[in-house]
Amino acid sequence: MKKLLCLLLLAPSVAFADATIAQKGRRFIPAEITIARGARLTFTNNDEFIHQIYVTGLFDSDERMPGQTLVEDFPSAGTFEVRCHIHPKMKLVVRVN
């Protein structure tokens, strides 16, 4: 079990049907993810800061306070960059198959 947990933690990207992305330390965790087309990502603000996330042409959220979540669909295949308007260095790469 410990070996499996270590492998999951070290993986550069993770493939899921639906997944949760944490916002912590002004970062997205994980920083890369691969999902199936039509899958939903739940963004959970586990940070002490407000975040306002977006993907150009796909969605642009309202401000999310610490503890709040946001669920977004990724209906088409491609590679998308999720960013934060408030913290421009935050970046999540979402690959949709």
- Predicted local distance difference test score (pLDDT) of residue 5: 41
**Residue 9 main-chain phi, psi, to 5 deg:** -70, -30
Spell out the CATH class of 11-96: mainly beta
pLDDT at 4 over 60: no
**Looking at the whole model, is its pTM more than 0.85?**
no
- Give the C-alpha separation, 44 to 30, whole Å: 12
- The residues spanned by each domain of the chain are 11-96
| Predicted confidence (pLDDT) per residue in 26-40, tens digit | 999 999 999 999 999
- Predicted local distance difference test score (pLDDT) of residue 14: 47
| Predicted confidence (pLDDT) per residue in 41-82, tens digit | 999 999 999 999 999 999 999 999 999 999 999 999 999 999
In the numeric block, which tokens belong to residue 13? 């990207």
| Predicted confidence (pLDDT) per residue in 17-27, tens digit | 589 999 999 99
**Residue 84 main-chain phi, psi, to 5 deg:** -115, 125
State the pairing for strand pair 32-35/59-60: unpaired
